[in-house]
Amino acid sequence: MNPQGLMMNREGIVLIDKPAGKTSFYLVHVLRKILGVKKIGHAGTLDPFATGVMVMLVGRKYTQKSGQFSAQGKSYQATIRLGIETDSYDCDGQIVSESDLIPSEEDLIQAIAQFQGKVEQIPPMYSAKKVNGKKLYELARNGEVIERKPAVVDLETTLLSYNYPEVELIVHCSKGTYLRSIAHDLGKILGCGAHLSRLTRIRSGDFKLEDCVKLENLNRDNIMEHLITPHEAIHVA
């Protein structure tokens, strides 16, 4: 069997460190082109500005379990910019308010204490969450803002550094957590507004950033070295 035929019959997982400025679907497109396999998905999207762990699922056996992979906990390193609030809660949005208020480190620590354990979180309007069959971001682009029901998420939030206007956090969280909402809500608590300016996913389930390959280093010659088939991945609880 020729190498290309072998690749077309392979299934497994490719761990990619997504670069900033690329969509999650772009990674699917690149892998389809390299592998010649149509059935490719992932275990949780990342916004274009975000970087880090993308668990790419190759072949039907793996894509059928995308929901199980996506349900696993994730970890992020997030940079929050205080003093500027945007409509999308992140750096890609339009500025809606600005503030000169500089919170103290003590105030920040007290605010972060509210993002521990079980927390109710309202999804942002600029998100792919569906309400009455419509994606919220589609409504938002038409200037609509609708009521969203809060969802309970599980958080473990650690302050890495605070150098105004930037706050650096590590967040371990459950499925369905919006880091943009954490940034937005933190700004509301502090009274100065805030948005998510940088985001790196450092863990998805058992897969860590150090396990990932840079997208620019992935090609037809080395793809088989990065296509893994861990036995436990087929039996995700």
Q: Which CATH architecture has domain 74-203?
A: 2-Layer Sandwich (3.30)
How would residue 198 be classed by pLDDT, with cut points 50, 70 and 90? very high
pLDDT of residue 9: 57
Domain parsing of the chain, residue ranges? 3-71+206-235, 74-203
pLDDT of residue 233: 52
CA 196 to CA 109: how far, in whole Å?
18
pLDDT, one tens digit per residue, over 95-125 is 999 999 999 999 999 999 999 999 999 888 7
Q: In the CATH hierarchy, which top-level class contains the domain 3-71+206-235?
A: alpha beta
| Section 65-72 average pLDDT | 92
| Section 48-53 average pLDDT | 96
Distance set, CA 139 to CA 98, 122, 150, 182, 195 (Å): 25, 16, 18, 21, 21
How would residue 131 be classed by pLDDT, with cut points 50, 70 and 90? confident
The size of the chain, in residues, is 237
For residue 141, give the 3-state DSSP assignment.
Answer: helix
Question: pTM of the predicted model, to two decimals?
Answer: 0.90
Q: Which residue has the higher pLDDT, 148 or 70?
A: 70
| Section 34-45 average pLDDT | 93
Closest CA to 227 of 83, 56, 17, 39: 56
Mean pLDDT of the chain: 90
| Section 139-143 average pLDDT | 73
3-71+206-235 and 74-203 share one fold? yes
Residues tagged active-site: 47
227 bridge partner residues: 14
CA 185 to CA 187: how far, in whole Å?
5
Closest CA to 98 of 191, 189, 36, 237: 191
Instruction: Please tell me the number of Cα atoms within 13 Å of 129 on its side-chain side.
Output: 18
pLDDT, one tens digit per residue, over 69-95 is 999 999 999 999 999 999 999 999 999
